[in-house]
Structure 1
Amino acid sequence: MILTNYIGEIAALSAALLWTLSSLVYSRLGLKIPPLQLNLYKGIIAIALIVITLLIQGSAFSNLSTSTVALLTISGAIGIGLGDTAYFLALNSLGARRTLLLETLSPPMGALLALIFIGEQLASSSWYGIILTILGIAWVISERNPVDNISISRKGLIWGILAAIAQALGAVISRYALTQSAISSLESTLIRLIGGTIIVIGLMFLPVAKQIHLQWQLSRRSLGIIAIAAFGSTYLGIWLQQISLKFAPTGIAQTFLATSPLFILPIVALQGEKISFRSILGVIVSLAGIALMFI
Structure 2
Amino acid sequence: MEQTIGQLMAVVTALCWAQNSLIYAHVGAQVSSNTTAHIRLWIALPLMLLVHLAFEGTIIPLGMDMRAWILIGLSGALGFCVADLFIFSSFVHIGARQTMVIMTTSPLLSALLARIFGGEILTGIQITGVVVTLVGVAWVIHADRSSGVSGNRRHMVKGVAIALGGSVTQAIAYVLADAGMTEAIPAVSANVVRLVFGLLALIVFATARKSFLKDFARFSGKAGHKALLLIIAAAIVGPVLGIILNLQALKLAPVGVVTTLSQLTPVMLLPLERFAMKRHIPPMATVGTFVAVFGSVLLFI
Shorter-chain-normalised TM-score: which range?
0.7 to 0.9
Query: 1:33 aligns to what?
Result: 31
CA distance in 2, matches of 1:17, 1:283: 16
Q: Higher helix proportion, which one? A: 2
Partner of residue 288, structure 2: 282
Instruction: Tell me the alpha carbon deviations over residues 31-69 of structure 1, each in whole angstroms, 9 at most, x when there is no partner.
Output: 222222211221121111111122234524343111111
Query: 2:151 — aligned with what?
Result: 149
Number of the residue aligned with 1:99: 99
Q: Is the 8 A contact 1:15 1:237 kept in 2?
A: yes
Q: Which runs of 5+ in 1 are unaligned?
A: none
1:198 is aligned to 200
CA contact (8 A) 2:274 2:281 kept: yes
Aligned 8 A contact 1:76 1:193 in 2: yes
| Map of 2:176 onto structure 1 | 173
Match of 1:214 in 2: 215
Alpha-carbon contact 1:43-1:197 (below 8 Å) kept? yes
Cα RMSD for the two superposed structures: 3.7
Determine the structure 2 residue equivalent to 1:261: 266
Shift of residue 204, structure 1, vs aligned partner: 1.0
2:134 and 2:93 map into 1 onto residues whose CA distance is 22
Q: Which residue of 2 aligns with 1:23?
A: 21
d(CA) in 2 for partners of 1:40, 1:151: 29
Residue 82 of structure 1: aligned partner: 82
1:231 aligned partner, one-letter code = I
Distance 2:213 2:25 in 1: 18
Aligned to 2:67: 67
Asked whether the equivalents of residues 94 and 150 of structure 2 are also in contact (C-alpha less than 8 Å), the reply is: no
Q: Percent identity?
A: 27
Distance 1:197 1:89 in 2: 17
Q: How much does 1:278 deviate?
A: 2.2
Checking the alignment, whether the CA contact within 8 Å between 1:269 and 1:275 is kept in structure 2 is yes
Amino acid at match of 1:46: A
Say which of 208, 222, 230 aligns to 1:225. 230
Matched length: 287
CA distance in 1, matches of 2:38, 2:247: 20
Structure 1 Cα separation of the partners of residues 110 and 299 of structure 2: 16
**What secondary structure sits across from 2:70 in the alignment?**
helix
Q: Which amino acid aligns with 1:122?
A: L
State the TM-score, normalized to the length of structure 1: 0.79
Structure 2 counterpart of 1:188: 190
The offset of 1:159, in angstroms, is 2.8
Cα gap change, 1:33 to 1:263, in 2 (>3 Å): same
- Measured in 1, the distance between the counterparts of 2:204 and 2:57 equals 29
CA gap 1:203/1:81 in 2 versus in 1, 3 angstroms:
same
Q: 1:288 and 1:103 mapped to 2: Cα distance?
A: 13
Q: CA deviation at 1:78?
A: 0.7
Q: Deviations over 1:95-135 (max 9, x none)?
A: 33553454243222211111122333332213323432443
Q: CA deviation at 1:293?
A: 5.0
Higher mean alpha-carbon deviation, 69-78 vs 255-264, is at 255-264
- After superposition, the Cα gap between the structure-2 partners of 1:35 and 1:278, relative to the gap in structure 1 and judged at 3 Å, is closer
TM-score with structure 2 setting the length: 0.77
Q: Contact conserved, 2:15 with 2:265, CA < 8 A, in 1?
A: yes
Which is worse superposed, 125-134 or 103-112?
125-134
Per the TM alignment, residue 181 of structure 1 is displaced from its structure 2 partner at its CA by 4.1
Partner Cα distance (1:236, 1:141) in 2? 31
Residue in 2 aligned with 1:45? 43
Q: Distance in 2 between matches of 1:26 and 1:74?
A: 24
